[in-house]
Amino acid sequence: MNTFVPRVFSGMQPTGNLHLGNYLGAMVNWIRMQETHDCIYCIVDMHAITVFQEPKDLIRSTREVTAAYLACGLDPKRSIIFNQSRVAMHAELSWVFNCVARLGWMDRMTQFKEKAGKDKERASLGLYAYPSLMAADILTYKATHVPVGEDQKQHLELARDIAAKFNNDYAERIAELGFSGGFFPQPEPMIQGPATRVMSLRDGTKKMSKSDASDLSRINLTDDADSIANKLRKAKTDPEPLPSEAAGLAGRPEADNLIGIHAALSGVGKADVLAEYGGQQFSAFKRALTDLAVAKLSPITGEMQRLVADAAYIDTVLKEGGERAQAIAAPIMDDVKDIVGFLR
Ligand code: TYM
């Protein structure tokens, strides 16, 4: 068995503001994992252009998302923070993976179906190949742990399939070159906490998303206290008081969502929140949730504003992060070339 050095990789798309779903579904785990692991956190600008982005918006958004990473508590001294396009190995390895992955696998990807919508013919080839690039992001560092929200689970399974097929297709050559137990690890999805799928505030059956037309559906990390209060006041609920036990949340998606958000923000489980608020009306609970959300998010919002004003600092973080990332990725990509039979 090959033993792979534990390494964390994850990323977010710079296609606009980060929201509470990104924060609770992924970022809180990223911050926690910095304590125990070597971590690489990427701003995936190459993924962003699978849907057209105005170049100036992409530049601004890349810096804003970097500022959000730092403001949330990612430490550039400890973790590697960079934008994807800086490190050419992502693109190089993704081409190899495009030749390993099967069309049938890609056809099953639900996110492509959602994003491409009815008019699949007009979607970019990049949008279709997106999960193959995502596998390359992870495996160009031989990352073993990938903290993400629930919606990325299928992509992670595909990354595992690609790693396994590469190891299998090239097994002889991999052994010949002296790698025992396969070349790539099986990256482990880390989908953890009470808010792995934060739902829209307007519809508890839809995921909270940047692309929702209604800004009332999400809490952005840039929202001030008044807009957080307004959005939570208007958040959809049902007429019943809150249940006292988690089983009572079944069939009540809006209640389940708000309880999950409270639990994740306060770092406890849903049962603990229900023990406190069970039997109460939504109005009182929403006020408590607003206070909690504002207390947690307003320091982040303030710090983001400060950092965004310092583009030179942000650019230095990305440049240094890119150099460190490249130093890990380059020798791995060299090995891939030797395995595949590319002269170098
Ligand atoms: P992206 O940019 O859509 O989202 C970034 C992270 O936030 C999580 N997330 C959510 N979690 C809970 N509830 C929600 N409503 C919610 N919305 C988003 C996502 O699961 C994700 O963890 N394909 C990825 C980016 C990516 C990547 C990677 C991730 C590219 N390469 C390699 C991990 C490893 C994406 O589009 O995430």
Query: If you measure from the C-alpha of residue 172 to the centroid of ligand 1, how many angstroms do you get, rounded to a whole number?
Result: 35
Comparing C-alpha atoms, which of 202, 204, 278, 269 is closest to residue 240?
Answer: 278
User: What SS3 state is found at 84?
Assistant: helix
Query: Mean pLDDT across the stretch 263-289?
Result: 96
CB neighbours of 285 closer than 8 A, spacing ≥ 6?
242, 258, 262, 277
Mutate to test the pocket of ligand 1, among 142, 145, 148 (most ligand atoms within 8 A of CB): 148
Q: What angle do CA 167, 333, 8 make, to 5 degrees?
A: 75
Are 39 and 30 contacting, i.e. CB atoms less than 8 angstroms apart? yes
CA of residue 132 to ligand 1 center, whole Å: 15
Distance between CA atoms of 172 and 169, rounded to whole angstroms? Answer: 8
119 falls in which pLDDT band (50, 70, 90)? confident
- CA–CA separation, 112 vs 135, rounded Å? 15
Q: Where do the structural domains in the chain lie, given as residue ranges?
A: 7-197+311-340, 215-306
Average pLDDT score over residue span 224-234: 97
- Which CATH fold would you assign to the domain 215-306? Tyrosyl-Transfer RNA Synthetase (1.10.240)
Confidence label for 3 from pLDDT (cuts 50, 70 and 90): confident
Q: Taking CB atoms and a 6 Å cutoff, what residues make up the pocket around ligand 1?
A: 9-13, 21-22, 25-26, 44, 47, 134, 137-138, 146, 148-149, 151-152, 155, 196-198, 207-208
Q: Is residue 1 predicted with pLDDT exceeding 60?
A: no
Q: Which of 8, 22, 155 to mutate to test the pocket of ligand 1 (most atoms within 8 A of CB)?
A: 22
How high does pLDDT run on average in the chain?
A: 97
Which atom of ligand 1 lies closest to the CA of 151? 20
CATH T-level fold of 7-197+311-340: Rossmann fold (3.40.50)
Please state whether beta strands 145-147 and 80-83 pair in parallel, antiparallel, or not at all (unpaired): unpaired
Between 112-121, 141-150, 305-314, the lowest mean confidence (pLDDT) is in: 112-121
Mean pLDDT of 205-227: 96
Q: What is the position in ligand 1's atom list of the atom closest to the CA of 195?
A: 12
Look up residue 52 and give its amino acid: F
Q: Of 103, 104, 93, nearest to 184 (Cα)? A: 93
Q: What are phi and psi of 88, to 5 degrees?
A: -65, -20
| 199 and 212 Cβ atoms separated by less than 8 Å | no
Residue 166 has pLDDT above 80, yes or no: yes
> Same fold for the domain at 7-197+311-340 and the one at 215-306?
no
> Active-site residue 118, yes or no?
no
Helix, strand, coil share of the chain (percent; to 5):
60, 10, 35
- DSSP state string for 249-260: GTT-HHHHHHHH
Q: Residue 266 contacts by C-beta under 8 Å, 6 or more apart in sequence?
A: 272, 273, 292
The alpha carbon dihedral of 329, 314, 144, 6 has a sign of positive
Calpha distance 269→290 (Å, rounded): 18
Q: Whose CA is nearest to atom 34 of ligand 1?
A: 10
Asked if pLDDT for residue 2 goes beyond 70, the answer is: no
Report the share of the chain in percent with pLDDT over 70.
99
d(CA 74, CA 77): 9
DSSP-derived secondary structure for 18-79: -BHHHIIIIIHHHHHHHTTSEEEEEE-HHHHTTS---HHHHHHHHHHHHHHHHHHT--TTTS
How far apart are alpha carbons 298 and 88 in whole angstroms?
Answer: 36
pLDDT greater than 60 at residue 242: yes
Ligand 1: distance of its center to the CA of 29 in Å? 12
Q: How far is the CA of 207 from the centre of ligand 1 (A)?
A: 12
User: What is the sign of the dihedral through the CA atoms of 291, 293, 294 and 299?
Assistant: positive
pLDDT at 292 over 80: yes
- Report the pLDDT averaged over residues 68-87: 98
Looking at the chain, which runs of residues are DSSP E strands?
7-12, 38-43, 80-83, 145-147, 188-190
Query: Global pTM?
Result: 0.97
